[in-house]
Structure 1
Amino acid sequence: MSKGTDRMTPITQRRLEAAAILAFCIFVYISQGYSAVTFAYCFFLPDLSILAYFKSPRIGAIAYNTAHCLLLPLALGGYALFGGGSLALQCALIWAAHIGFDRALGWGLKYPDSFCSTDMGRKTLPLDVPILR
Structure 2
Amino acid sequence: MATGTTYRTGDSPPQPGIPGGTERSRQPSRWLRNLVLLALLAAVLLLAWSWRGLREEALVSTSYGARVACACRFVSGQALGSCKGRIAVAGLGRTASFMMLSEDADARTVKASVPLLASQTATFAADRGCQLEPWAE
Fold match (TM-score > 0.5): no
TM-score (norm 1): 0.30
Q: Which has the higher strand share?
A: 2
Q: Which structure: larger Rg?
A: 2
Greater fraction of residues in helix: 1
